[in-house]
Structure 1
Amino acid sequence: MVIPVHDVNPVRRTPYVTYALIFANVLVFLYTPGLAGSVAGDSSLSQMCHLQGFLDHWAMVPRELIHDQLPRLVPTGEVGTGLHGTGCVVAPPTWDKSPPLSVFTAMFLHGGWLHLLGNMLFLLIFGNNVEDRMGHVRYALFYVVCGYAASYGFALLNADSGDPLIGASGAIAGVLGAYLVLYPRARVWVLVPFLVFLPLRLPAWLVLGFWFVLQAVYSSGEGVSTAGTVAYAAHVVGFLAGMLIAWPLRPGTPPPPEPRGLLFGRRARARHSW
């Protein structure tokens, strides 16, 4: 898996929406119980009880979205001891929940610092150019639509699942799909893990195309022993939605500047004909 760090594709205007989305995601994460003080999201039992109750309220759950089956009991945030040992105390929820609205709120929730920072890195690198091409308002609507498409697509494929779905990756996958359509030839600096991290500059179609193929393979269950906690199908649906929405903008999109001097991380040599 390659790690993008920068693209050679300048923008004409400040990407205020992209910055605002990053700020909002970080701010929500800092106020998510039990996560901000942990790198990977590991917490004490009490913190996990608070987190589970928080997610039950604000995260998207496929079963709730498709069948409108809201939970009868949710963790209160307290820890108690019962017949099966120590665990979270549960009680009827004291809040009302709208499953369609939970799709939106779930876009700003993350399961740990690594989850958050990975998503924000992709959004920062690729979101500014898509916003530059679409304009601030259309880009904001585009982002939300891709997030909804990804969540509903995942929910339809997992209609009976009671596991919460969180993260901005479905919406960001839409941004990646749009970038691939609009700027396939833009160069992207990436780090490739091979003994050490090798810096290479690759075309966007290769970087994003490879990312999409991985998501598609993993969503089918190939290449991984289990899907784990990553909603690969949401990434696939969000990516395709972004491509479809951005396609009409492709003809009028100015090409990115052609970089000179460096090719695939090394200085290009002049070619001579003898």
Structure 2
Amino acid sequence: MFPIRDHNPSRRPALVTYTLIGLNIAVFLAMWPSYSNEAAISGIYMEWAMIPVRLSSGEGFHTVITSMFMHGGFMHIAGNMLFLWIFGDNLEDEMGHVKFLGFYLMSGIAAAFAQYIVFPSSWIPMVGASGAIAGVMGGYLLLFPRAKVDVLFIFIIFFKVIPFPAWIMLGLWFALQLFGGFGTGGDGGVAYLAHIGGFIAGVILAIPEWRRLGGKEYWALTHGHPPHTQARYKFQQSRIPVVKRRK
């Protein structure tokens, strides 16, 4: 189950969102030759990934930023960039380019420190843009709780796309992070605490923008939907003729 698009078109080009996607892909491609060399990739992680114990010793604070642009594999970056592409453009559309960039980076920093506070002695490197993107999702939830998001469900041998209100899709995602972070102790190779911290930070950081738009009056005006015409998608009809069953 994962989202593939929303019905919330942007009114202007999302330059920062596309630039962030491009930077993440560029860093991933630059690291690609090292993934097959354990010594090389370990050296890169030791220098540029966020390792909590390094912060505890008073060094490596630059990694709070650099780790946001590193990923552990193809599926890792593909999933993160998909979420950023779906939800980032709308926040950038409302906030403006510069404000959105600051919002994104602050969400990522908050996510990193949420993971650090719980595991300050950990030697496990943390990489990925998911903490910052979780912040984007939190801000999206505050501004567009009822925007439609198409979610692809794959059931072994068939699939179906179902549109959900953003608050259901994002709420379910957040609940899964809570379960992963607290139900399993957060020890499964996924930085659930960073996701939780980034999401909460995103909601808090988006409050000034929500108030600028009118706060509760904005919600009353839009009913939680985007403040403009939503996109409508139509799936291509099958050319296979339908044969009715005989009585």
Which category of TM-score, normalised to the shorter sequence, fits these structures? 0.7 to 0.9
TM superposition shift of 1:260:
7.2
What residue number does 2:48 align with?
58
TM superposition shift of 1:184:
0.3
What residue number does 2:70 align with?
109
What residue number does 2:15 align with?
16
TM superposition shift of 1:34:
3.7
Q: Deviations over 1:82-119 (max 9, x none)?
A: xxxxxxxxxxxxxxxx5211110000000000000000
What residue number does 2:126 align with?
165
Correspondence for 2:168 among 206, 210, 214: 206
C-alpha contact (below 8 Å) 1:59/1:165 kept by paired residues: yes
Secondary structure of 1:193's match? strand
Correspondence for 2:187 among 227, 239, 248: 227
Task: Report which of the two has the higher share of helix.
Answer: 2
Q: Deviations over 1:178-215 (max 9, x none)?
A: 00001001001110123422110110000001000000
Percent identity at matched positions?
44
Calculate the aligned-residue CA RMSD, in Å: 1.9
Counterpart residue identity of residue 197, structure 2: V
Structure 1 residues 261 and 166: alpha-carbon distance in aligned structure 2, compared to 1, 3 A threshold: closer
Q: Deviations over 1:137-175 (max 9, x none)?
A: 000011100000000110110011011110000000000
Q: Deviations over 1:10-44 (max 9, x none)?
A: 11110000000000000001111545xxxxx6x3x
Distance in 1 between residues matched to 2:204 and 2:233, nearest whole Å:
34
Q: 1:65-214 counterparts in 2 under 5 A?
A: 65-68=55-58, 98-195=59-156, 196-214=158-176
Correspondence for 1:240 among 187, 200, 224: 200
Rg larger in structure: 1
Task: Report which of the two has the higher share of strand.
Answer: 1
What residue number does 1:73 align with?
none
C-alpha contact (below 8 Å) 1:215/1:232 kept by paired residues: yes
Structure 1 residues 200 and 67: alpha-carbon distance in aligned structure 2, compared to 1, 3 A threshold: same
Counterpart residue identity of residue 216, structure 1: L
Counterpart residue identity of residue 148, structure 2: R
Structure 1 residues 194 and 107: alpha-carbon distance in aligned structure 2, compared to 1, 3 A threshold: same
| Residues matched between the structures, number | 221
Counterpart residue identity of residue 185, structure 1: R
C-alpha contact (below 8 Å) 2:9/2:230 kept by paired residues: no
What residue number does 2:245 align with?
none
Counterpart residue identity of residue 160, structure 1: S
Counterpart residue identity of residue 164, structure 2: L
TM superposition shift of 1:239:
0.1
Counterpart residue identity of residue 209, structure 1: G
TM superposition shift of 1:248:
2.6
C-alpha contact (below 8 Å) 1:66/1:156 kept by paired residues: no
Determine if the alignment matches structure 1 residue 25 to structure 2 residue 49: no
Secondary structure of 2:159's match? strand
Correspondence for 2:179 among 209, 217, 223: 217
Secondary structure of 1:220's match? helix
Distance in 1 between residues matched to 2:64 and 2:233, nearest whole Å:
45
Which structure 1 residue ranges, 4+ long, deviate > 6 Å from structure 2?
259-262
